[in-house]
Amino acid sequence: SSDHQKETQTMEHVVVDGSEVVVKDPQSLCHKISSIRLAGPEKLQVIADFDATLTKYWIDGRRGQSSHGLLRQGSPEYDEKRQKLYEYYHPLEFDPTIPLDQKAKLMEEWWGKSHALLVEGGLTYDAIKKSVTNSTIAFREGVVELFEFLEEKDVPVLVFSAGLADIIEEVFRQKLHRSFKNVRVVSNQMIFDQNGQLVSFKGKTIHVLNKNEHALDMAAPVHDRIDNVNGLNEDNSFVKKRTNVLLLGDHIGDLGMSDGLNYETRISVGFLNDNVENSLESYQKAFDVVYLNDTSMQGVVKLASQLC
């Protein structure tokens, strides 16, 4: 009917509470919301990217830093070496002419070299703490509300990043001043010796192009990772039984974060922070919901409350 058409059109691109949100197929979204709600919160999990998804893209007119970007390892020489790597590899990361398999090798190379420099340069846990204190990084408004709501409903959240787990955990501690028992960080984990000096990295490297592959093996509680190592497998199978997913990301590649799961219903939310004109169409196609203009997490809080 024309009424229905009108409703669809207005839902497609609307401003809700001051944030712009685009929903390409409102009917499909409504259907997914109903299915997830019907299955109940015990079937639901949230998988969220960290950088520029949970955190703000802009902070007081400056680009927010990533977990890699904020790190000052206490040796300018080594910071510079990692910066040189960034200048070489970052353009390759976004070069559309490099075939994916080749690009994956390049990314592996980058992460390998960068992690090696952190070890070689003698990174300490103290330097991580200082770096986070001095960083330009902030969570989006509403992240705490979202995590609290999900904690109340016993819905697990996997924070999934190709960055550095220890830094992300420190950001949680310093910026949120609390931990959430339902939140797990899945990212590259450091191993420190008794003197608090980095000696190696745990398990297989997660880089931008293999985020999907070893995800669940590395999940660990954000507040007491080390003590809970033995509980991991049990935890992971528990997460695998949660077949409905709310996925949050800022890159189309983030959709791969749920590849390890045989999900039944997935609602994907994309934050389109930059380059809106060129990317809106592909984001609209890829994500069920797209938020524009570096907006808050309030819309997602509302969405979550519709799910459970």
- Binding of ligand TMP at residue 256 (CB under 6 A)? no
Q: Which of 45, 65, 114, 296 is close enough to bind ligand TMP by CB under 6 A? A: 114
Check binding of 140 to ligand TMP (CB under 6 A): no
Phi, psi of 252 (to 5 degrees): -60, -35
From 165, 208, 209, 297, residue interacting with ligand TMP (rule: CB under 6 A): 208
Q: Which is nearer to ligand TMP, 51 or 294 (CB)?
A: 51
Is 126 one of the annotated active-site residues of the chain?
no
Q: Is 78 in the site for ligand TMP (CB under 6 A)?
A: no
Q: C-beta of 69: minimal distance to ligand TMP in Å?
A: 5
Taking the complex as a whole, the smallest distance from the CB of residue 23 to ligand TMP amounts, in Å, to 24
Which lies closer to ligand TMP via its Cβ, residue 161 or residue 265? 161
Catalytic-residue membership of 49: yes
Instruction: Kindly state whether residue 258 participates in binding ligand TMP, applying the rule CB under 6 A.
Output: no
Q: Which is nearer to ligand TMP, 107 or 307 (CB)?
A: 107
Q: Which of 20, 35, 58, 86 binds ligand TMP (CB under 6 A)?
A: 86
57 binds ligand TMP (CB under 6 A): no
**Of these residues, 3, 25, 49, 254, which one is catalytic?**
49
Q: Which of 56, 68, 103, 242 binds ligand TMP (CB under 6 A)?
A: 68
Binding site for ligand TMP (CB under 6 A): 49-51, 66, 68-69, 82, 85-86, 93, 110-111, 114, 161-163, 208
